Amino acid sequence: MATDDPCPVFFLSDSTGITAETLGSTLLSQFPTVEFDRTTIPFILNVDQAQAVVDLIDALVERGQKPIVFSTAVTSDIRRTLGTCTATLIDLLGTYLGELEETLATQASNEPGRAHGLGNAARYQSRMTAVEYAMEHDDGQSLRALEKAQLILVAPSRCGKTPTTMYLALQHGIFAANFPLVDEDFEREGLPKPLRPFVDKCFGLTTNPLRLSQVRTQRREGSPYASLRQCGFELRSAERLYASHGIPFLNSASMSVEEMSAMILQQMNLKR
């Protein structure tokens, strides 16, 4: 193998493959200088399919490559078949289930699809209702049932309110609204009126003027809205508004929605 060939990586599962991808990506992110060629193979449902995957991977090994395989297969015969592959195999359940069975003094169920299936129906339904709530309350569109919000994200346009709200709703079932801050709010130096009874639920976002200007330029090139001057004014004003109302806030410039969401949950003391 030429040393600059990307390293083949496989995420294998008898269910969605989400855990294999998450686990594997976390481990691989510790090797930022290595290039990986990733393939997810979900829903491996029987031994024949598992054997076909093993054959595929073994063929790469025979060609001199060094594939890395992450598996979260649960079903024991599928796990056994995947276990025969000659690549580096990281088998999540194989590694840890025995230890957990011992601690819990209980046998594992060995049924696939439990982690990202419907699971607890009430919890799943509350996530779906939270998505609906977030859609209805995106960008200040609706003031209906604002008292039901667990969180109200506020920020000038294009600071990342919408994707952060969606992530919190979809992953954590948080009832989150989001609300734009506009020049009119800054002139009055006050929160938008509908939010005033809910200042304790408010969380602010800010970003860097240059980055905001870049993002807004993609939407409306050359507009006053996208100008560095206007972006700087709005962000300074928003930060002053947060401070004067005691609203906690984050800078979204160098953070992902996942990081912002985790910090917001922690700072607002919201149960995941």
- As measured in angstroms, the least distance from the Cβ of 112 to a second copy is 10
Q: Would you say 65 or 245 has its CB closer to a second copy?
A: 65
DSSP 3: T
86 annotated ligand-binding residue: no
Q: Would you say 23 or 182 has its CB closer to a second copy?
A: 23
Alpha carbon separation from 129 to 67, 107, 164, 172, 241 (Å, rounded): 41, 34, 16, 11, 31
Q: Would you say 23 or 47 has its CB closer to a second copy?
A: 23
157 annotated ligand-binding residue: yes
Return the H-helix or E-strand segment holding 41. Answer: strand 36-41
202 annotated ligand-binding residue: no
Q: Would you say 19 or 230 has its CB closer to a second copy?
A: 19
Asked if 68 and 10 count as a contact pair (C-beta separation under 8 A), the reply is: yes
Amino acid identity of 252? S
- As measured in angstroms, the least distance from the Cβ of 117 to a second copy is 5
Residue whose C-alpha is closest to residue 232's, from 164, 186, 165, 163: 186
- As measured in angstroms, the least distance from the Cβ of 108 to a second copy is 4
Asked if 52 and 81 count as a contact pair (C-beta separation under 8 A), the reply is: no
204 annotated ligand-binding residue: no
Residues 6+ apart with CB under 8 A from 84: 54
142 annotated ligand-binding residue: no
Q: Would you say 198 or 263 has its CB closer to a second copy?
A: 263
Distance CA(147)–CA(2), nearest Å, equals 61
162 annotated ligand-binding residue: yes
- As measured in angstroms, the least distance from the Cβ of 257 to a second copy is 8
- As measured in angstroms, the least distance from the Cβ of 173 to a second copy is 11
Bind-site residues for ADP: 155-162
Bind-site residues: 155-162
